[in-house]
Amino acid sequence: MPEPKVAPYGSWKSPITSDLIVSETIGLGQIALDGEDIYWVEQRPAEGGRNVIVQRTPDGQTTDMTPAPFNARTRVHEYGGGAFAVADGTIYFSNFADQRLYRQALGSAPEPITPAMDLRYADGVIDRRRNRMICVREDHTASGREAVNTLVSINLEGDEQGGQVLVAGNDFYSSPRLSPDGSRLAWLTWNHPNMPWDGTELWVGELNADGSLGRTQRVAGGVDESIFQPEWSPHGILYFISDRTGWWNPYRWYGGQLEHLVDMEAEFGRPQWVFGMSTYAFEPAGRILCSYTQNGTWYLASLDTATRRLEPIQTPYSFITGLRVGPGRLVFLGGSPTEPASIVRLDPATGRLEVLRRSSDVAIDPGYLSIPQAIEFPTENGLTAYGFYYKPENRDYVAPPGERPPLLVHSHGGPTSAASTVLDLGVQYWTSRGIAVLDVNYGGSTGYGRAYRQRLNGQWGIVDVDDCVNGARTLVGRGEVDGDRLIIAGGSAGGYTTLCALTFRNVFQAGASYFGLSDLEADALETHKFESHYSDRLVAPYPAGRAIYYERSPIHFVDRISVPMILFQGLEDKIVLPNQSEMIFEAVRAKGVPVAYLAFEGEQHGFRKAENIKRSLDAELYFYSRVFGFELADPVEPVPIENLR
């Protein structure tokens, strides 16, 4: 192999191009089993971000089930998830364009089973005995009023009324689950201002002969206890995940009593941003196959429901979720620092693993891959925070002696979410060009217990920013990165953290906000129902705390912004409205600070179209090259930058 070339950080030529990323990468989502067949969802940037349901049969054949232009995606809670169910070879799915439910029998075209009304559906379970689906419905038919969420039953032969209401009265519902004999229904519910990771209730109701709901009772949960993923065992015992000890651990409800199955400082649950998430499933023999996370790494294990013994199962994966179990097989979504997110099948008896579908089939030479290092660093008030650090890595290049790399600090969205170590070519795009990356799991992130998650309560725009700042300072102090070339970037809530860091701190020299909030009050008044009271807990109750909203909103303090920024926005975003980015752009431009703004037609919250993913990635790189003055190894379409001299 030839000697590495000497070139400044940021100027290294990389085989991990934006074209490669968008042409060879898909998103992988919901998994379902039906007999011997396996189904999953693929989000395809090359098809305009269309979500396609794919079937894999026992002979290994894969088939696209939903024909174009159908797009299996629901808008319930705007974030969706749980967009399809399958039973006996027939698929039932929500179509993005009209939000109607469709039935698609094998070999037939999809046909609608709900009316053309402003109704949305998600998280369905098939009730075979009564030929119906029980699911979440979000009713938007009352113009100008908040949507109404309920649990409804849908006649699988067609339902002209759009569903019969089974449960109503609360703000939100999720996870309707039928007992094996069809006699009982379990579900989750919660009310404003809670989000599902703050406090939910688990209810069980008896189903009458006509399918209506009879006697009901609350099993667990409350305003300060988060319940996740209720499931019935094959023997009709109700299991669920609760954080009543401060950690999401498994429980069961049996004979009217609650039993704590595993007491660990580990998280067996995840924040319920989308429907249909699964971290455990039952083997026919009674064991539970489950996944859990500790310090940012996910593990697979087997739980004996009789002895409560938890046995680890060795896999090469550091992220494991979406578990589904059938006879002799476990199917899940897994990934690692060297393996992209993939649909994986495991034989629990032999431990044999088979990758059924990768989110990217690109074969990258390991010499271009940066392996993340888990770091823990000191932050405010004597506490510590966490992150994953990626050093620049490219086998073909070294930097000039004495030069340290720029650092791109990434602030994840949510903010109730977490960074993972799954191979992400979007991260490797930077590190293979000589730009270090720190993915911060700031206070408020999941995976470190309820107390860590609650650090952000009342402190959004402070704790998250402090942790990003202190993560960067730690790496500067260790001599890893250049303290004069610090960048911060993030999307959605991570975009808000970015804007706050650039406004209220003097640490970063540039930043990129992807559909980030600039005005907390405007967002509180304009956002959709699911998040309309989210900031009550993260910031302060509104309108009583209006002064705090003002103090934490970058739009009101543009005079403090003195470093360049670039903003990206989807013009159909219903979660963070386009005016949030437009306001900050106009204000920064008027102040005379270098700023760029790219808006994309047809994009919602998170870019799904290949051309827009490519454009935003290359535009961000171009912006930094102009700000910090390094030459790019390959030509990139220029971005108009206001006030750059």
Peptide bond into 176 cis (omega under 30): no
Strands 486-491 and 407-411: parallel
pLDDT at 57: 97
pLDDT confidence bin for 437, thresholds 50/70/90: very high
Residue spans of alpha helices (H) in 345-443: 425-431
pLDDT at 574: 81
249 phi and psi angles, rounded to 5 deg = -120, 160
94 phi and psi angles, rounded to 5 deg = -90, 130
pLDDT confidence bin for 286, thresholds 50/70/90: confident
Tokens of 394: 């490219």
Going along the chain from its start, the domains and CATH numbers come out as 5-17+372-628 (3.40.50.1820), 27-157 (2.120.10.30)
pLDDT confidence bin for 465, thresholds 50/70/90: very high
Tell me the per-residue pLDDT of 3-62, one tens digit each, with 9 for 90 and over.
999 999 999 999 999 999 888 789 999 999 999 999 999 999 889 899 999 999 999 999
Tell me the per-residue pLDDT of 216-275, one tens digit each, with 9 for 90 and over.
999 999 999 999 999 999 999 999 999 999 999 999 999 899 999 999 999 999 999 999
pLDDT at 249: 98
Angle at 93 between CA 88 and CA 95, to 5 degrees: 155
Greater confidence (212 vs 573) lies with: 212
pLDDT at 106: 87
Strands 373-378 and 310-313: unpaired
DSSP 444-462: T-SSS-HHHHGGGTTTTTT
| pLDDT for residue 277 is more than 80 | yes
State how far the Cα of 99 lies from the Cα of 80, in Å rounded to an integer: 11
485 alpha-carbon distance from chain centroid:
29
Q: What is the mean pLDDT of the chain?
A: 96
Quote the DSSP letter at residue 578. H
pLDDT at 142: 92
Query: 635, 637, 582: which is closest to 615 by C-alpha?
Result: 637
| pLDDT for residue 609 is more than 90 | no
Query: 198, 180, 181, 179: which is closest to 190 by C-alpha?
Result: 198
Q: How many H helices and E strands in the chain?
A: 10, 38
Strand locations in 140-268, DSSP E? Answer: 148-155, 164-167, 172-178, 184-190, 201-207, 213-221, 227-232, 238-242, 249-254, 257-260
pLDDT confidence bin for 573, thresholds 50/70/90: confident
| pLDDT for residue 285 is more than 80 | no
pLDDT at 42: 97
pLDDT at 383: 98
pLDDT at 107: 87
| pLDDT for residue 1 is more than 80 | no
Under 8 Å between Cβ of 26 and 645: no
pLDDT at 607: 86
**Beta strands across the sheet bearing 213-221:** 172-178, 184-190, 201-207, 213-221
The whole-model pTM stands at 0.95
| pLDDT for residue 194 is more than 90 | yes
DSSP 272-321: -SSBS--SEEE-TTS-EEEEEEETTEEEEEEE-TTT--EEEE--S-SEEE
| pLDDT for residue 196 is more than 90 | yes
Under 8 Å between Cβ of 627 and 566: no
Mean pLDDT calculated for residue range 544-553: 97
- Percent of the chain at pLDDT > 90 equals 91
Tell me the per-residue pLDDT of 512-536, one tens digit each, with 9 for 90 and over.
999 999 999 988 998 899 999 999 9
pLDDT at 114: 98
| pLDDT for residue 152 is more than 80 | yes
Mean pLDDT calculated for residue range 464-479: 98
Tell me the per-residue pLDDT of 333-381, one tens digit each, with 9 for 90 and over.
999 999 999 999 999 989 999 999 999 988 899 999 999 999 999 999 9
Greater confidence (560 vs 608) lies with: 560
pLDDT at 238: 98
Q: Is 407 helix (H, G, I), strand (E, B) or coil?
A: strand
pLDDT at 80: 96
Mean pLDDT calculated for residue range 469-497: 97
Residues in CB range of 529: below 8 A, 6 or more apart: 77, 146, 147, 149, 171
Residue with tokens 């971290």: 279
Q: For 23-39, b where at least 16 C-beta lie within 10 A, e where not — what string?
A: ebbbebbbbbbbeebbb
State how far the Cα of 489 lies from the Cα of 612, in Å rounded to an integer: 17
Mean pLDDT calculated for residue range 581-594: 93
Under 8 Å between Cβ of 239 and 248: no
Map 516-573 to HEC letters: CCCCHHHHHHHCCHHHCCHHHHHCCCCCCCHHHHHHCCHHHHHHHCCCCEEEEEECCC
pLDDT at 140: 97
| pLDDT for residue 590 is more than 90 | yes
